[in-house]
Structure 1
Amino acid sequence: MRRALLIVAKAPEPGRTKTRLVPPLTPDQAAELSKAFLLDTLHLARQLAWERISVVAPAGSATALAPLLPPKVILLEQRGIGLGDALRHAFASQFAESFSRVVLIGSDSPTLPAAFIRQACAALERFDLSVGPSVDGGYYLIGMRHPHLGVFEDISWSTASVFAETLQRAHALSLDVSTLPTWYDVDDAEHLARLRNELRSSPADLAPHTRAALQTLSVVAPAASASV
């Protein structure tokens, strides 16, 4: 069984990445944090020891991203119009190279448990799809054992209905779906505060790049978190 892991990422450039974290961060701080997230995600990916790891990024990202990638990690340029096209082409490229398990994650969840990815792959022995829902209504992971690329069609991307619509598409295609535990992306101040709290109570070797980046930042937590 040949396994491929796809990681969706953007070049960590000020003003173009993690813009919903500005404020409380400055554009430069947000870019540094985005870089740290990617480095920790790559570290997680290499621990899995899968046969292929690729970073899927928008066109023009090579100059910024290539120096961050470990040896043997491939940079794939996004193809098509919109996120749905990009995901469809990314999965199709891996199945075209005879990978039998393809799993995609984002680079916005630096503390994502490796166990969730292993669980997703194991579930593909019996299910057509593995999907990990995010607390914001999207998903942090999607995996498949055959190119069921129709699950990326007719989705309202970047909305709170992405996960629900994906399940509806899977049902319409008569696909069996395994749902993973819910996790979170760090896209706004609320989830940045959650990340900081998680790291305070976690082993020091969890997400070391993110931990180091946060230590250099002066972050104001959202007012709502004061009552938690």
Structure 2
Amino acid sequence: MKPFKNNEVIINAHLQASKQAIIIFTRNPELGKCKTRLAKTIGNEAALNIYKHLLEHTAQITASVNVDKFVFYSEQIVQDDLWNATIFNKKLQQGQNLGARMEHAFLELFQQGYNKIVIVGSDLLDLNTDIINEAFYKLDNNDVVFGPAKDGGYYLLGLSKMQPCIFRNKPWSEANLLEVTLKELGLKNVSLTLLKTLNDIDKFEDIKDYPQLKKFYTKHD
């Protein structure tokens, strides 16, 4: 058996070198606590139902990605919900703002030995498995991958190593978030690339072009 030992080492090293994970950040779907900007137009119940629909879409497209999967809840971990515990590892977000919570999630997984990590939100109907797979592929030759959102932020972030500056002192929820982040990364020796721009759903204007969402609201044409 000795001649095969080196091959086993090579195979194990390759598996370790391609240890990948996806992080899904999600809010616990509670009435009046999610999609609040959308709720100002269509009401809390309709906004909640749309958010649940978005969660189902996100769970479906991420389940088939061939990497380890982690769902980070905003408030509390729920064992019996749409995130199948045999597919998704469940964790709790930690931090005072979005940047701190994302940084903690990335750091935790990097410390577990992952070296290609992608994070996505849970409010995009245009996000699909192919786009997520493309992000992992592009991390082969880049330190950072962004999926730009039409509102000036980003719907996806991929890292092959920690980049703390991405998460600190940033204008979260502002229209210049990605611009500011790219400018700061441009001052460092960081290789990065961008995916296609997508529309995330935060307010009523964002849902008008999705016929499948009309069943959740009425009298708001």
TM-score by length of 2: 0.86
Residue equivalent to 2:71: 55
SS at match of 1:48: coil
Do residues 110 (structure 1) and 89 (structure 2) align?
Answer: no
| CA displacement at 1:29 relative to structure 2 | 1.6
Aligned with 1:69 (options 62, 71, 83): 83
How many residue pairs get matched?
Answer: 203
Q: Return the index of the structure with the highest Cα Rg.
A: 2
User: d(CA) in 2 for partners of 1:3 and 1:27?
Assistant: 37
Do residues 180 (structure 1) and 195 (structure 2) align?
Answer: yes
Residue equivalent to 2:39: 22
Identity across the alignment (%): 26
Residue equivalent to 1:120: 135
Residue equivalent to 1:139: 154
Q: 8 Å contact 1:5–1:54 — kept in the other structure?
A: yes
| CA displacement at 1:183 relative to structure 2 | 0.4
Residue equivalent to 1:3: 20
| Equivalent AA in structure 1 for residue 71 of structure 2 | V
Q: Runs (4+) of structure 1 moved beyond 6 Å?
A: none
Aligned with 2:59 (options 34, 42, 48): 42
Q: 8 Å contact 2:116–2:139 — kept in the other structure?
A: yes
Q: Single out whichever of 155-164 and 143-152 deviates more from structure 2.
A: 143-152
Query: C-alpha deviations, 1:98-132, integer Å up to 9, x for none?
Result: 11210001101023132221111111111110001
User: d(CA) in 2 for partners of 1:194 and 1:47?
Assistant: 26
| Equivalent AA in structure 2 for residue 33 of structure 1 | I
User: d(CA) in 1 for partners of 2:152 and 2:102?
Assistant: 18
User: d(CA) in 1 for partners of 2:70 and 2:164?
Assistant: 18
Residue equivalent to 2:3: none
TM-score by length of 1: 0.83
| Equivalent AA in structure 2 for residue 118 of structure 1 | N
| CA displacement at 1:81 relative to structure 2 | 1.6
| CA displacement at 1:5 relative to structure 2 | 0.6
User: d(CA) in 1 for partners of 2:66 and 2:187?
Assistant: 34
Residue equivalent to 1:149: 164
Aligned with 1:100 (options 115, 124, 131): 115
| Equivalent AA in structure 1 for residue 218 of structure 2 | S
SS at match of 2:207: helix
Residue equivalent to 2:29: 12
| Equivalent AA in structure 1 for residue 127 of structure 2 | L
Query: C-alpha deviations, 1:157-208, integer Å up to 9, x for none?
Result: 1101111111122123321110111001011111111233xxxxxxxxxxxx
User: d(CA) in 2 for partners of 1:131 and 1:219?
Assistant: 36
Q: 8 Å contact 2:119–2:156 — kept in the other structure?
A: yes
Distance 1:165 1:72, change over 3 A: same
Do residues 220 (structure 1) and 201 (structure 2) align?
Answer: no
- In structure 2, stretches of 5+ residues that fail to align are 1-17
| CA displacement at 1:66 relative to structure 2 | 4.7
